[in-house]
Amino acid sequence: MGFERFVASDEAEYSFEVGGESVTYHISSLDELRIIGYMHSTEAPVLEDIVSHVSADDSFLDVGANVGIYAAVAGTVGASAVAVEPIQQNVVKARKNLELNCDDWETLPFAMGDGERVTQMDADTLDGIDDMASLGEGRSRCRCSTATR
């Protein structure tokens, strides 16, 4: 994919093809580009299903959105996209990605749960992208609200 020649800046964008649609991401590091590229490789059938089965009349809800990969793909076919993500750093990245790919989008900075409360979640940080994990080296904690919406 040519990652080794990629030089990221705060405003770098990189596009991937999915089922004939181009989806663009805001990239801030080579590791972030590799992670998104890996997701596009391993999740290709799911991403292609989104392009094939979601239409402009649909609303797409991406719960646990991380940086909004699935919602961004849905946006490329004109769907209204909602990304639900509790980790603020990921919400910021998801907003940028949805803005690049969707006409109608929203991010909700919550975790989904069976009631409303404030809870603590642990996040594993890999060069700017947080994934849920137990605490250890390179990991951080966030306080987030759960919502029933």
pLDDT value of position 6: 56
Amino acid at 101: N
**The residue to which tokens 């239409």 are assigned:** 55
More confident residue, 117 or 39: 39
* Residue 97 counted as domain residue: yes
Domain containing residue 85: CATH number: 3.40.50.150
- 134 within domain boundaries: no
Domain count for the chain, please give it. 1
Give the H/E segment covering residue 21.
Answer: strand 21-27
Instruction: Determine, yes or no, domain membership for 100.
Output: yes
Q: Tell me the residue range of the domain where 96 lies.
A: 3-107
- Say if 138 falls within a structural domain: no
Asked if residue 38 belongs to a domain, the reply is: yes
Q: How far apart are the first and last CA of the chain?
A: 39
Query: Is there a domain that residue 102 lies in?
Result: yes
Could you tell me which residue, 1 or 96, shows the higher pLDDT? 96
The arithmetic mean of pLDDT across residues 19-30, rounded, is 92
Question: What per-residue confidence (pLDDT) applies to 88?
Answer: 87
Provide the H-helix boundaries in 43-117.
Answer: 44-53, 69-76, 88-101
What pLDDT band is residue 28 in, cutting at 50, 70 and 90? confident
Judged by DSSP in three states, 18 sits in strand
Determine the pLDDT at residue 142: 55
Distances (CA, A) of 142 to 27, 101, 102, 136, 147: 23, 28, 28, 14, 16
Residue 131 is assigned to a structural domain of this protein: no
CA 86 to CA 72: how far, in whole Å? Answer: 17
What does pLDDT average to over the chain? 81
One-letter amino acid at 17 equals: E
Residue 137 has pLDDT above 50, yes or no: no
In a domain, 129, yes or no: no
DSSP single-letter state for residue 9: -
pLDDT tens by residue, 32-49: 888 899 999 999 999 999
d(CA 124, CA 134): 7
Per-residue model confidence (pLDDT) at position 143? 57
- Contacts of residue 127, defined as CB under 8 A and 6 or more positions apart, other chains included, come to 29, 31, 32
pLDDT digits (tens, 9 = 90+) for 63-93: 999 999 999 999 999 999 999 998 888 999 9
Report residue 15: phi and psi, to 5°. Answer: -115, 145
Asked whether the predicted pLDDT for residue 101 surpasses 90, the reply is: yes
